[in-house]
Amino acid sequence: MENLILAIETSCDETAASVIRNGNEILSNVVASQIDSQKRFGGVVPEIASRHHVEQITVVIEEALEKASIVPSDLDAVAVTEGPGLVGALLIGINAAKAFAFAHGLPIIGVHHIAGHIYASALVEPMKFPLLALVVSGGHTELIYMKEHGSFEVIGETRDDAAGEAYDKVARVLNLPYPGGPHIDRMAHEAKKGVDFPRAWLEDTYDFSFSGLKSAVINYKHNLEQRGQSIVPEEVAKGFQDSVVEVLTTKTIKAAKELGVKQVIVAGGVSANRGLRESLSKALEQEGIPFTAPPLSLCTDNAAMIGACAAYMFEAGVRSDLSMNGLPGKELKSWSNTDDKLR
């Protein structure tokens, strides 16, 4: 496979552009984060995110090309996140990609954001099929089975809160700054013991549920306050994280063994969580199943992962056109064996 892709990602609050060669080599990966702007609101404000994207998108694309030492005529295609995400944010990246593709006579490829997260692992080592991907982020918690490139089967998903969403909500209960996940992870490792919070197993299914756990944390805090007692934040953080990690790990191992996969991948923003990475690595090593976790720089939203996925889509003949629009609720569909190559 030989191709050179310019990729753009603006699905939430990171403005990113990257140049990827052959689906596995990062020539540049530029990310303009909005965390400092958004943390005062305790989360992402869509209108503010869109305005920041407008300010940053051109500069980020130019920097990505410059760092990669290439010119537009060197490229084979332009890729961009089509969805899911914040529609206003998506449209900034999509319109920038369409303008660039039109101006330089390049094909354009719309990439699913979650597929991008999965393909971040291809930038670390070759993907071994069949594989199982655990996608954990602020908006998604899913187990996805892949029998080949471009084949996606969701075998389990959250029925309510995503894991990352639960982390952020519990962080607010503990008065921690946004984003709360890294703070909870750090505090969990500092604690000597944790509060015993429940696990939602949802027997006979690979699905997840974290809203009950979130409510248990809130109720625990309120009950202590009503008795005039204070919580120990580190112990709450550890108890909460232990519950989340145990459920994610147990269900992933169960699915991996039952499906006979050759590799397990963890992807998404929460895959940067130290507790989760350590738990999965240890459990999968015991089962003799290869495990891949991308470096921290490729866990959160970035354009390199979009470019990696697009490289395989390009080779499969998948193309979009200039009528592409932002799809905030875009479904994850397979493109490996479809007869209709135009998406």
Q: Is 196 annotated as a binding residue?
A: no
- The token pair at 318 is 């998948």
Q: Classify the C-alpha dihedral 31-36-42-47 as positive or negative.
A: negative
Please state the separation of Cα 286 from the chain's center in Å.
26
Q: Is 230 exposed, middle or buried (0-12, 13-18, 19+ CB in 10 A)?
A: exposed
Owner of token pair 């694309």: 61
Contact call for residues 50 and 88 (beta carbons, < 8 A): yes
Q: Is 78 annotated as a binding residue?
A: no
Q: Is 168 annotated as a binding residue?
A: yes
Q: Which of 52, 4, 9 is nearest to 326 (CA)?
A: 9
Please state the separation of Cα 87 from the chain's center in Å.
17
Q: Which of 318, 301, 299, 314 is nearest to 60 (CA)?
A: 301
* C-alpha span between 317 and 122 (Å, rounded): 19
State the Rg of the chain over Cα: 20
Secondary structure letter of residue 69 according to DSSP: T
Q: Is 181 annotated as a binding residue?
A: yes
Q: Is 117 annotated as a binding residue?
A: yes
The length of the chain, given as a count of residues: 343
Q: Is 156 annotated as a binding residue?
A: no
Contact call for residues 236 and 167 (beta carbons, < 8 A): no
Q: Is 151 annotated as a binding residue?
A: no
Q: Is 137 annotated as a binding residue?
A: yes
- The token pair at 220 is 């625990």
Q: Is 29 annotated as a binding residue?
A: no
Q: Is 45 annotated as a binding residue?
A: no
Q: Is 260 annotated as a binding residue?
A: no
Contact call for residues 199 and 247 (beta carbons, < 8 A): yes
Could you give the 3-state DSSP secondary structure of residue 162? coil
Q: Is 124 annotated as a binding residue?
A: no
- The token pair at 130 is 């069949």
* C-alpha span between 106 and 1 (Å, rounded): 18
Q: Which of 114, 236, 252, 116 is nearest to 180 (CA)?
A: 236
Bind-site residues for substrate:
135-139, 168, 181, 185, 273
Bind-site residues for Fe cation:
113, 117, 301
Bind-site residues:
113, 117, 135-139, 168, 181, 185, 273, 301
